[in-house]
Chain A
């Protein structure tokens, strides 16, 4: 069970649950069925390293160089969908415009430190994929600040970053996943010592360009609509 406050609302009614069982059977859920991987890692708010969140990534490959992940706060059936991550190869990352690059983070430290792992997957299989992930960059937004106790997704999307060196992540968080998943982060670090990050090194504009990032809401005028010759619904 999640330790975060409960989402307000009535328990799901039986009639609602019945309908949803039916729709789950009837409908084509192809994009969701494409998800083939569960990665566990930690993110922090791009302006506050002290706010750290355990993030469960459920990922699908778009192609060899790109994957897209739904991020949940736990691996349980009642997990909250708190964000999204896009993961791209070094190649694709380098094609991004310079003003885009700071929004992306490197994965080299997360992989090499052993902090990024696939729950339940044996080391040799996990490492085959980690050899690829270690060279990639990711872009994460969280929409739900569960770490500050929000019981609903309030406020603005948040840019999230990943850890880049020792001493940043709270030790309790590491111990938490180690005990729940029966893994040893320090042992896995040794297993992954042979891996190497992006071929051209970590691009200096990535990871916020070394600075913090924050989101702000700006009010804008609505663009006037070009009138349609005849409206569909008049």
Chain B
């Protein structure tokens, strides 16, 4: 949790309750695809099995704190989106660890979590300042302007699993037998 990254989500909506995002490391044409995030409304999330819910994170704090921004979108258009998103959950697999300097995508995907209002969940201030400068915005001001966005009344305790349990998750890739139809390779 000491490794924080800036992410740019390019989003398509399947329906009112479900979004899918291609995640890049920047918004330039040279941006690298570093993962995929899925976003679910609280309504659909609550129906998932508990073992699945452990893999998801909440978005309320990210939005309320001003960490989440929709670059270039005027506040009046951004606001209804944010109000909807504050109640959603996300599942983000990161496939390219650019923060550790990987020139090519190496290893297994990492499960990513969202910033939270507890010490362990705080984003490094330098990262926020760099972002703010780039887009000429102020996270502090955004945070103040979002005070009225309703806090979700209920956050499922299986989400943001680390907050309750102090445990994170890693993926291992193991060698195993393959069920075959013909010889491989």
- Count: A-B pairs, CB below 8 Å: 244
Q: Provide the bound-state CA to CA distance between A13 and B36, in Å.
A: 24
- Contact indicator A27/B16 (Cβ below 8 Å): no
A41: shortest Cβ distance to chain B, in Å? 16
Chain A residues within an 8 Å CB radius of B72: 26-28
Known: A29-B10, A220-B170. A164 touches B185 (CB 8 A): yes
Chain A residues 19 to 65 lying within 8 A of chain B, measured CB to CB, are: 19-20, 22-23, 26-34, 46-50, 62
Query: Contact mask A207-222 → B, CB, 8 Å, 1/0?
Result: 1111111111111111
A130-150 Cβ-contact flags toward B at 8 Å (1 or 0):
000000000101011000000
In chain B, residues 156-185, which have Cβ atoms closer than 8 Å to a Cβ of chain A? Answer: 162, 166-185
Chain A residues within an 8 Å CB radius of B177:
47, 211-212
Of A7, A139, A207, A217, the contact of B14 (CB 8 Å cutoff): A7
A49/B122 contact (C-beta < 8 A), A222-B162, A222-B167 known: no
Task: Check if B12 sits within 8 Å of A23, measured CB to CB.
Answer: no
Interchain CB contact under 8 A, A225 and B143: no
Using CB atoms, name the residue of chain B closest to A109. Answer: B185
B107 contacts chain A at the CB level, 8 A cutoff: yes
Cα(A88)–Cα(B103), bound, Å: 12
A211-B20 contact, Cβ under 8 Å, with A12-B15, A216-B171, A218-B170: no
Pick the most buried of A66, A103, A153: most chain B CB atoms within 10 A of its CB: A153
Identify the A interface with B (CB < 8 A).
Answer: 7-13, 15-16, 19-20, 22-23, 26-34, 46-50, 62, 66, 68, 70, 78, 80-81, 83-84, 86, 88, 92, 95-97, 100, 102-103, 106, 139, 141, 143-144, 152-157, 159, 161, 164-168, 170, 202, 206-228, 231-233
